[in-house]
Amino acid sequence: MKYVIHAEAGFSGREVLSNFRNATNMSVATNIISVNWKQLYPTLQMKVVDIVLVDSHFWGIEGTLRVAAILNDWRLT
């Protein structure tokens, strides 16, 4: 089965990736679905990714450390 991932038909990239992950049961890691605090909670709530790659380019060093601490507290990777 071939999957093409891109936002279309009114769905966000986060929704498309969540549907892909849940349909295939494949582990997903990305650093482009959540690039700020407003996007982090929906990403975790929708179970979009299994591994949150926190990019200091988007989050800065302090933000990266804060996200890592939150993920650790929530027992997420």
pTM of the model: 0.69
**CA–CA dist 34, 23 (Å, integer):** 21
Helix (H) / strand (E) containing 51: strand 51-52
Q: What is the pLDDT of residues 5-52, one digit of tens each?
A: 555 677 888 888 888 898 999 999 888 888 889 989 888 888 888 888
Half-sphere exposure of 44 (CA within 13 A, CB side): 16
